[in-house]
Amino acid sequence: MTVGPSRGRRYVMLFLFFCGFSIILFRLVTLQVLQAAELTAKADRQHQKTVSFEGARGMVSDRHGKVLAMNVEVPSVFGVPTSLENPSAVARHLSPVLHIRSGELEKKLRQNKSFVWLARKVEPEQGRRLEQLSLGGIGVVMEGQRFYPNGPLLSHVLGFSGMDGQGLEGLERRYDAQLHGEKRVTVLQRDALGRTIFPKGMKEQVPTPGQALTLTVDEVIQYIAEKELDETVVRTHAKSGTIIVMEPQSGAILAMAVSPRFDPNAVSSLTPDRWRNRALTDTYEPGSTMKAMVAAAALEEKVMTPGSMIFGENGKMTIASTTIHDHEKLGWMTFPEMIQKSSNIGAAKTGMALGDQRLYRYLQAFGFGQRTEIDLPGEVNGLLKAPKDWGRRTLASISMGQEIGVTPLQMVSAIATLANGGVMMKPYVVSEVRDQKGLLLKEVLPHAKRRVVSEETAKTVTTMLEGVVTNGTGTKAAIPGFRVAGKTGTAQKIDPRTGGYSSTLFVGSFVGYVPAESPRLAMIVVIDEPQGEAWGGTVAAPVFRRVGEQVLNYLGVSREDTVKIALATRDY
């Protein structure tokens, strides 16, 4: 029996249909099962673009809750080059709004990418104008920008953050892990024609903000310190200046002022030298302020007493083939008079009575040659050589504040130790860390590092330092109605050209505390390279008085007698 032509064709068609179905079925299994994950990822890469945005950085406030650093929402502009038909025309429309050359914009828009930033964190008005233009393939999204409402106030402590929200300097850098907000991930979709479909509510998607910091700093005290410091630096034509105000009993920093100041809202045109926090990065020879710590060591070791007599060699003494001078031709004087008159010869003899090992041990105990461990970046150790590296005159030189390098923070911490009865406290600027809901995550409590001298020794030195202000080199630091304890310092700087001490470059300083009988404030004033009279008692002591007077009045500290004082913060 033969198969007819029509039946044969049907078999052939059935066979071909079966083969085709098998091929399609195999392909479907391959696509849907074997290559599903790979193809899905490939499709996502072609039709989706993942863009991440940082959450707002945490707020920074002073001890009373006044905002010092915050985030504001500003527009950022992006483009989707793969969806643009005429990048040149789009660039021409964008150029006058973004203030960017059209050629530069066109170059970005011609990239084979599904997402490019065109301008980050522009002015709100620019964002509104772009939305009105309604250009296809161009989008605007809101990003957080760091804003410092007080401008230069506390700028060297706060520091600043970068374009992508990372902390670069100051507290912003030190506490970046806490302040940094969480990332928000947004997926941009493209349809079959390559057009970008922006997620609904893209502008309203808000990622979790960072943690908030509360500082020990008082905004008003900081303002007083900066105002007085700036005026002094300008008036004396000084290179720079520093003021630190600390609570002796806790180590809390109430103010840390550095001049010249800078505005952290506009740092792009500045150099690192401008935003360096000189209070803890720059060392200087302290001069006669060191005599307070040398005196404390001598009293503690009982090599000197308040009744000890020291001969001033009539203002000139030779040590190691060099001559030490006093600014007065002093004869016999008591140990307290040596401090009051700031005798270099008396200090050198005191240091020699102690000996190199004991003096070195006490200088270390007072914190010199080591970091204070304050919670700020950039702090240096200072310079304190070990006795094995001392020359024949080093013992005498260090005793009067030469051949040693200190930071203003180290020196104010040392004087605060005497104000606190001989106990050294660790300085700090952040008191609390809270989450975005206000829940307390961390509280920083005062930390006593060590006892340096006895309470009796601290009280004796305090009485001696009061004499400096009432009848010595620091009379211009006196605050009416309050007992002030402090010490002046005038140090010659090293001339970089000769390597020796300069006859024209000085550092004038004053360090002390008030009220002497129950200290509320420990403070240092350092004026670097003032022109004209550079004595610490002339250039720095008056600043101590003006700042101390206003701060004590602001804090409501009662005085021994009634003196009417105008509050300098009235115009704040």
Residues forming the active site: 288
Angle CA 372–338–318, to nearest 5: 95
What is d(CA 121, CA 127) in angstroms, rounded to the nearest whole number?
9
Overall size of the chain counted in residues: 572
Q: What is the C-alpha separation between 416 and 245, in angstroms, rounded? A: 10
Is residue 252 helix, strand or coil? strand
Return the closest-CA partner of residue 290 out of 525, 125, 511: 511
Q: Is 415 exposed, middle or buried (0-12, 13-18, 19+ CB in 10 A)?
A: buried
C-alpha–C-alpha distance, residues 245 and 80, integer Å: 53
Distance (Å, rounded) from C-alpha 109 to C-alpha 129?
19
* Three-state helix/strand/coil letters over 382-446: CECCCHHHCCCCHHHHHHCCCCCEECHHHHHHHHHHHHCCCEEECCECEEEEECCCCCEEEECCC
- Separation of alpha carbons 164 and 144, rounded Å: 9
CA 300, 303, 308 angle in degrees (round to 5)? Answer: 110
Count of C-beta atoms within a 10 Å radius of residue 231: 14
d(CA 163, CA 84): 27
State the CB neighbour count (10 A cutoff) for residue 433.
Answer: 18
Angle at 204 between CA 203 and CA 210, to 5 degrees: 105
Q: Which amino acid is at 75?
A: P
Peptide bond into 515 cis (omega under 30): yes
Q: Where are the beta strands (DSSP E) in 40-84?
A: 48-54, 60-61, 67-79
Sign of CA dihedral 3, 7, 13, 14: negative
CA dist., res. 478 & res. 469, Å (int): 6
The partner residues of 197 in beta bridges, in order of sequence, read 189
**Cα of 38 vs its chain's centroid, Å:** 49
Q: How far is residue 462's CA from residue 474's CA, in Å, rounded to a whole number? A: 14
- Residue 412 to residue 246: CA distance in whole angstroms: 8
Measuring CA to CA, which residue among 513, 417, 428 is closest to residue 253? 428
Label each residue of 341-361 as H, E or C.
Answer: CCCHHHHHHHHHHHCHHHHHH
